[in-house]
Protein backbone atom coordinates (compact mmCIF):
# COMPACT_ATOMS: atom_id res chain seq x y z
CA UNK A 1 0.00 0.00 0.00
CA UNK A 2 1.40 3.37 -1.02
CA UNK A 3 0.43 6.62 0.64
CA UNK A 4 -2.10 7.30 -2.14
CA UNK A 5 -3.67 3.81 -2.08
CA UNK A 6 -6.77 3.37 0.05
CA UNK A 7 -6.72 0.96 2.98
CA UNK A 8 -8.82 -2.05 2.04
CA UNK A 9 -10.93 -3.93 4.60
CA UNK A 10 -13.12 -6.95 3.85
CA UNK A 11 -15.68 -8.24 6.35
CA UNK A 12 -16.50 -11.95 6.19
CA UNK A 13 -19.45 -13.98 7.49
CA UNK A 14 -21.19 -17.15 6.32
CA UNK A 15 -23.41 -16.22 3.37
CA UNK A 16 -22.66 -12.50 2.96
CA UNK A 17 -26.29 -11.46 3.39
CA UNK A 18 -26.60 -10.51 7.09
CA UNK A 19 -23.60 -9.64 9.26
CA UNK A 20 -20.81 -8.84 6.82
CA UNK A 21 -22.93 -6.51 4.65
CA UNK A 22 -23.88 -4.65 7.83
CA UNK A 23 -20.21 -4.28 8.76
CA UNK A 24 -19.24 -3.21 5.23
CA UNK A 25 -21.88 -0.47 5.13
CA UNK A 26 -21.29 0.72 8.71
CA UNK A 27 -17.52 0.90 8.33
CA UNK A 28 -17.79 2.75 5.02
CA UNK A 29 -20.17 5.24 6.64
CA UNK A 30 -17.86 5.80 9.62
CA UNK A 31 -14.95 6.52 7.28
CA UNK A 32 -17.05 8.92 5.19
CA UNK A 33 -18.31 10.79 8.26
CA UNK A 34 -14.70 11.22 9.42
CA UNK A 35 -13.68 12.63 6.04
CA UNK A 36 -11.71 9.52 5.10
CA UNK A 37 -14.15 7.90 2.68
CA UNK A 38 -11.59 8.17 -0.12
CA UNK A 39 -8.87 6.57 2.03
CA UNK A 40 -10.79 3.38 2.93
CA UNK A 41 -12.43 0.72 0.77
CA UNK A 42 -14.88 -1.46 2.70
CA UNK A 43 -16.22 -4.66 1.12
CA UNK A 44 -17.63 -7.97 2.31
CA UNK A 45 -17.87 -11.64 1.37
CA UNK A 46 -19.08 -14.97 2.68
CA UNK A 47 -17.28 -18.22 3.33
CA UNK A 48 -20.09 -20.03 1.49
CA UNK A 49 -21.56 -19.60 -1.97
CA UNK A 50 -25.27 -20.08 -1.20
CA UNK A 51 -26.32 -16.47 -1.83
CA UNK A 52 -23.86 -15.26 -4.49
CA UNK A 53 -25.41 -12.42 -6.49
CA UNK A 54 -28.29 -11.83 -4.08
CA UNK A 55 -29.06 -8.64 -2.20
CA UNK A 56 -28.56 -8.57 1.53
CA UNK A 57 -31.34 -10.23 3.52
CA UNK A 58 -34.46 -8.04 3.67
CA UNK A 59 -34.17 -7.84 7.47
CA UNK A 60 -30.55 -6.66 7.14
CA UNK A 61 -31.59 -3.91 4.75
CA UNK A 62 -34.44 -2.90 7.05
CA UNK A 63 -32.20 -2.81 10.14
CA UNK A 64 -29.66 -0.70 8.25
CA UNK A 65 -32.38 1.67 7.01
CA UNK A 66 -33.77 2.12 10.53
CA UNK A 67 -30.36 3.50 11.52
CA UNK A 68 -29.93 5.66 8.42
CA UNK A 69 -27.67 3.38 6.35
CA UNK A 70 -28.22 2.30 2.75
CA UNK A 71 -27.33 -1.30 1.96
CA UNK A 72 -29.31 -1.55 -1.28
CA UNK A 73 -26.26 -1.76 -3.56
CA UNK A 74 -24.91 -4.88 -1.85
CA UNK A 75 -24.65 -8.14 -3.78
CA UNK A 76 -23.42 -11.24 -2.02
CA UNK A 77 -20.19 -12.90 -3.09
CA UNK A 78 -17.90 -15.61 -1.83
CA UNK A 79 -14.46 -14.93 -0.38
CA UNK A 80 -11.63 -16.05 -2.68
CA UNK A 81 -7.89 -16.49 -2.28
CA UNK A 82 -7.43 -13.26 -4.26
CA UNK A 83 -9.19 -11.37 -1.46
CA UNK A 84 -6.11 -11.87 0.71
CA UNK A 85 -3.99 -10.00 -1.84
CA UNK A 86 -6.62 -7.32 -2.54
CA UNK A 87 -7.18 -6.41 1.12
CA UNK A 88 -5.04 -5.06 3.93
CA UNK A 89 -7.31 -6.48 6.63
CA UNK A 90 -9.67 -9.48 6.64
CA UNK A 91 -12.24 -9.13 9.42
CA UNK A 92 -14.15 -12.23 10.51
CA UNK A 93 -17.55 -11.84 12.17
CA UNK A 94 -17.16 -14.93 14.35
CA UNK A 95 -14.54 -17.46 15.38
CA UNK A 96 -15.76 -20.04 12.86
CA UNK A 97 -15.10 -17.60 10.01
CA UNK A 98 -11.79 -16.65 11.57
CA UNK A 99 -10.75 -20.32 11.71
CA UNK A 100 -11.82 -20.96 8.10
CA UNK A 101 -10.00 -17.86 6.84
CA UNK A 102 -6.81 -18.79 8.68
CA UNK A 103 -7.00 -22.27 7.12
CA UNK A 104 -7.45 -20.74 3.67
CA UNK A 105 -4.45 -18.43 4.13
CA UNK A 106 -1.51 -19.65 2.07
CA UNK A 107 1.21 -18.09 4.20
CA UNK A 108 1.85 -16.20 7.44
CA UNK A 109 1.35 -12.85 5.72
CA UNK A 110 -2.18 -13.74 4.67
CA UNK A 111 -2.97 -15.34 8.00
CA UNK A 112 -1.73 -12.21 9.75
CA UNK A 113 -4.40 -10.15 7.98
CA UNK A 114 -7.22 -12.11 9.64
CA UNK A 115 -8.78 -10.62 12.75
CA UNK A 116 -12.04 -10.87 14.67
CA UNK A 117 -14.40 -7.86 14.58
CA UNK A 118 -15.45 -7.99 18.23
CA UNK A 119 -11.81 -7.82 19.31
CA UNK A 120 -12.12 -4.09 18.54
CA UNK A 121 -15.06 -3.45 20.86
CA UNK A 122 -14.64 -0.73 23.46
CA UNK A 123 -13.89 -2.35 26.85
CA UNK A 124 -17.13 -1.01 28.37
CA UNK A 125 -19.19 -2.57 25.57
CA UNK A 126 -17.18 -5.78 25.75
CA UNK A 127 -18.09 -6.03 29.44
CA UNK A 128 -21.72 -5.49 28.51
CA UNK A 129 -21.47 -8.45 26.12
CA UNK A 130 -19.61 -10.47 28.80
CA UNK A 131 -16.61 -11.36 26.69
CA UNK A 132 -18.62 -12.50 23.65
CA UNK A 133 -16.27 -12.90 20.69
CA UNK A 134 -18.79 -13.85 18.01
CA UNK A 135 -21.33 -11.60 16.35
CA UNK A 136 -24.39 -13.88 16.47
CA UNK A 137 -25.96 -14.93 13.18
CA UNK A 138 -29.44 -13.34 13.06
CA UNK A 139 -30.57 -15.30 9.98
CA UNK A 140 -33.10 -17.46 11.86
CA UNK A 141 -34.27 -14.63 14.10
CA UNK A 142 -36.60 -11.66 13.89
CA UNK A 143 -36.06 -7.91 13.41
CA UNK A 144 -35.06 -7.09 17.02
CA UNK A 145 -32.14 -9.51 16.78
CA UNK A 146 -31.00 -7.89 13.52
CA UNK A 147 -31.08 -4.53 15.32
CA UNK A 148 -29.07 -5.95 18.23
CA UNK A 149 -26.51 -7.47 15.87
CA UNK A 150 -26.22 -4.16 14.03
CA UNK A 151 -25.55 -2.42 17.35
CA UNK A 152 -22.72 -4.84 18.11
CA UNK A 153 -21.27 -4.29 14.64
CA UNK A 154 -21.51 -0.51 14.98
CA UNK A 155 -19.71 -0.54 18.33
CA UNK A 156 -16.89 -2.80 17.15
CA UNK A 157 -16.59 -0.96 13.82
CA UNK A 158 -16.04 2.33 15.66
CA UNK A 159 -13.32 0.61 17.67
CA UNK A 160 -11.73 -0.78 14.51
CA UNK A 161 -11.82 2.66 12.91
CA UNK A 162 -10.16 4.24 15.97
CA UNK A 163 -7.35 1.68 15.65
CA UNK A 164 -6.82 2.29 11.94
CA UNK A 165 -7.38 6.04 11.74
CA UNK A 166 -3.86 7.19 12.70
CA UNK A 167 -2.34 5.09 9.90
CA UNK A 168 -4.99 6.07 7.36
CA UNK A 169 -5.30 9.79 7.99
CA UNK A 170 -2.94 11.67 5.64
CA UNK A 171 -0.28 13.76 7.34
CA UNK A 172 -1.12 17.42 7.76
CA UNK A 173 0.96 19.83 5.68
Q: Which long-range contacts (CB under 8 A, 24 or more apart) does 53-58 make?
A: 53/77, 54/17, 55/17, 56/17, 56/18, 56/21, 56/22, 57/17, 57/18, 57/139
- The residues carrying an active-site annotation are 13, 19, 137
The answer to whether 2 touches 39, Cβ cutoff 8 Å, is: no
Amino acid sequence: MTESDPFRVIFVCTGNICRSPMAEVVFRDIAALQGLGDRIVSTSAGTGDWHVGEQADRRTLEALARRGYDGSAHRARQFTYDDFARNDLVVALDRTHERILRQWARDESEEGKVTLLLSFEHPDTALEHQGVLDVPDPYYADAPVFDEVLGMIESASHGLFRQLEPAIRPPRP
